[in-house]
Amino acid sequence: MPLISESSYRPPLLLSNGHVQTILPSLFRKVNGVSYARERIATPDGDFVDLDRSLVGSERVAVIAHGLEGDSERAYVRGMVKALNRRGWDGVAWNFRGCSGEPNRRLRSYHSGDTADLEVVLGSVLNGGSYERAALVGFSLGGNVILKYLGERGERVDHRVHAGVAFSVPCDLAAGAFKMALPSNRLYMRRFLRMLHEKIRAKMELFPGEIDDADFDRMRSFKDFDERYTAPLHGFESAEDYWRKASSKPSLNHIAVPTLLVSALNDPFLAVECFPREEAKRSGCFFLETPASGGHVGFVSCNHDGEYWSERRAVNFLENLR
């Protein structure tokens, strides 16, 4: 019964609020000491994704997946890479299609259930080196991709993949979308839509006449965006069809390697359906930890080395599996 009933996370004084934990690191955290080497890999459909590698010459590697409209330069990605490097892990930060600073070549982009691209990325990382063990680490949307991938592959996952860790995951996409549409999340929703609009404008330049942004300013929710763009561009019938097929929650019970999901109870992005307690209770490999505080991809810590609790928690989970 891998339901972790008590978490070790304790927020700093005056930083227990979920919105503060979410916003503060996004705006102000800086992570130095990470040096990337970029590698571009081809996808089977003639597109590409960019990987940013931070290597220490290890036989162990972690592939890190960012959240919606993130990239390898986000502080939470760099912080995780740095923490892994310190413990003797190579780190590979995966930029989703169109998130590495250059538009991708296809009309499609990325989405919450894009496990096919993860298969390509993982194959490139494992087959291009001499790694004996690999782990997958994901945040928010990237965490959903990783959980879904491990659940889909089950016992068939590459034998070198020995663990997964995910933080702040909307594993029930429909419930998460409705939660994000609430007035309390209007500030976040506006920011996401603004960033997504920039991506649509870039696509319009590359594919004139095939995509447009008419009345984009009337959009207010992920329902609006996913119905108009995500679903048709990625082969889904509707937003609801996309949410149902791309959610990781239904496949959690099929995960066959030790996998930890950490989601804070005060995460403003997550609905109650995004805390899969029953799935954890029934699983022998899927662990769920629900700290009272932490916000969305927050888990702020104040210490001399600048590491956040989430980074130490992830590394400790991976190291204790040895």
Domains of the chain are: 3-172+247-319 (3.40.50.1820)
Percentage with pLDDT > 70 across the chain: 99
Q: Which residues of 173-197 are buried (b: 16+ CB within 10 A; e: fewer)?
A: bbbbbbbbeeeebeebbeebbeebe
CA 235 to chain CA centroid, nearest Å: 21
Tell me the per-residue pLDDT of 53-83, one tens digit each, with 9 for 90 and over.
999 999 999 999 999 999 999 999 999 999 9
User: Catalytic residue among 66, 267, 283, 301, which?
Assistant: 267
User: Catalytic residue among 124, 140, 251, 301, which?
Assistant: 140
> Given this model, what pLDDT does residue 169 score?
98
Tell me the pLDDT band of 168, cut-offs 50, 70 and 90: very high
Nearest to 140, CA basis, from 110, 171, 164:
171
114 has catalytic annotation: no
Average pLDDT over residues 291-318: 95
pTM of the predicted structure, to 2 decimals = 0.96
Average pLDDT over residues 199-219: 96
User: Catalytic residue among 66, 162, 234, 296, which?
Assistant: 296
Tell me the pLDDT band of 2, cut-offs 50, 70 and 90: confident
Q: Which residue type does 96 have?
A: F
Instruction: State residue 298 phi and psi, 5-degree precision.
Output: -105, -95
Q: Which residue has the tokens 């993982």?
A: 122
> Given this model, what pLDDT does residue 1 score?
52
Distance CA 252, CA 237 (A): 24
Nearest to 150, CA basis, from 165, 168, 139:
165
